[in-house]
Amino acid sequence: PPIPSLMPPPVATMAVLRASPLPPQPLPSSSSSSTPQSQRSPRGSITSAALSRTGPHPPLLKTGCRGGAKKILLAGGGRLPCLPTKQEVGAVGGAEEERYLAREAGWGVRRMGRIGEEMRRVALVQAEAFHVPVALFNDFFFDFFKAEVLAALIYKLRNSPPDRYACLVAEEADELLQLQSQAPFEKIIGVVDCTVQDEGDILRNLQGVQEYFYVSGIAVLPSFRRRKVGTALLKACEVLALEWRQRFMALRAYEDDSSARGLYAKAGYRVVSRDPGWVTWVGRRRRVLMIKDLPVHDAQIQQQ
């Protein structure tokens, strides 16, 4: 899936980004959850609490600024908490960690905490997934690419209302592992970007809407692939799309990537269009556009 449309101002020469998302690095501190096992949703399910939240503005993390740090105003009146220093960084609050949008095969997916070290971890995961290795100075270009990904992430957070953009993260939801972890952010092993868009090329394949929920930048660390992390991320995207009152979900995949297309098809997406054949003449891989309807939400709209 291609990279989201909101990108930061040009920064110097940027490494080649594959048709997909963005990435960050490690941070300290920890905090574990205390929700009783009986109150947790079964594995492989979408939490009912998440489905019941249909307000237009999901709550922001209650992360405060210390000392003379400043908060950044977001479009729509929200606030982006200041990015703490490494010494100030702590784990995402226990209550927030427990509010998983979806669970699957032991993985839990939640909204990314707006904490400096957690964002750097997200940038790292996406850089690992989308960096194209080069023969010379690969480490240098990887670090540069990772910095670009982090800059793009911060830019989108600063300039997007909380119900128009979200970065979701997947982590191990096992209680014992949470208690043993010294750096909770290091549990993040998968990432996906969710954006409300209104691109004409996609809208012409949809009926009765002026915008849609776009899924992009699905990234999973290499050692955790083929372990249903992607499935968990897609389920959480659907919960968020319902919460944001969207009727269609859309994503792009490479036409020759049968593994990714199989994952999306299994999740309910169908191919509705393809890039023109001439894109291969200029050295680009051909992509397909895949759409998923949200019929459950149709009923909710009629009741309003």
First to last CA, the chain: 33
Q: Are the C-beta atoms of 24 and 146 separated by less than 8 Å?
A: yes
pLDDT at 13 over 50: no
Q: Classify 61 as helix, strand or coil.
A: coil
**pLDDT grade for 53, boundaries at 50, 70 and 90:** very low
Q: Are the C-beta atoms of residues 216 and 20 closer than 8 Å to each other?
A: yes
Query: In the CATH scheme, what architecture does the domain 102-293 have?
Result: 3-Layer(aba) Sandwich (3.40)
Q: Which two tokens stand for residue 23?
A: 């990435």
- Any idea which of 43-52, 59-68, 109-118, 130-139 has the lowest mean pLDDT? 59-68
3-state secondary structure of 220: strand
- Most confident region among 15-24, 66-75, 171-180, 200-209 by mean pLDDT: 200-209
Q: 163-208: per-residue pLDDT in tens?
A: 999 999 999 887 655 555 556 678 899 999 999 999 999 999 998 9
Q: Where are the domains of the chain?
A: 102-293
What tens digit of pLDDT does each residue of 31-43 get?
333 444 444 444 4
If phi over 0 gives left and psi between -120 and 50 gives alpha, with beta otherwise, what is residue 245? Answer: left
3-class DSSP state for residue 124? helix
Letter for the amino acid at 189? I
Mean pLDDT score, 125-136: 90
Say what the pLDDT of residue 126 is: 93
Neighbours of 151 (CB within 10 A): 17
pLDDT of the residue at 173: 83
The catalytic position among 100, 254, 264, 269 is 264
Is 264 in the active site? yes
| Neighbouring C-beta atoms of residue 284, cutoff 10 Å | 12
Check residues 220 and 22 and name the one with the higher pLDDT.
220
pLDDT tens for each residue of 247-287 = 999 999 999 999 999 999 999 999 999 999 898 899 899 99
Checking if the pLDDT of 151 tops 80, the result is yes
DSSP strands (E only) in the chain: 72-73, 79-80, 102-104, 107-111, 165-172, 188-197, 212-220, 248-254, 270-274, 287-293
pLDDT, averaged across the chain: 74
Res. 94 pLDDT band, cuts 50 70 90 = very low
- Checking if the pLDDT of 215 tops 70, the result is yes
Q: What is the DSSP letter of 178?
A: H
Secondary structure of 132-150 in the HEC alphabet?
A: CCCCCCHHHHHHHHHHHHH
* Three-state secondary-structure class, residue 162: coil
Contact 251, 290 (CB under 8 A): yes
Per-residue confidence (pLDDT) for residue 179, from 0 to 100: 55
In this structure, what are the phi and psi dihedrals at residue 243, rounded to the nearest 5 degrees? Answer: -65, -35
- pLDDT at residue number 69: 40
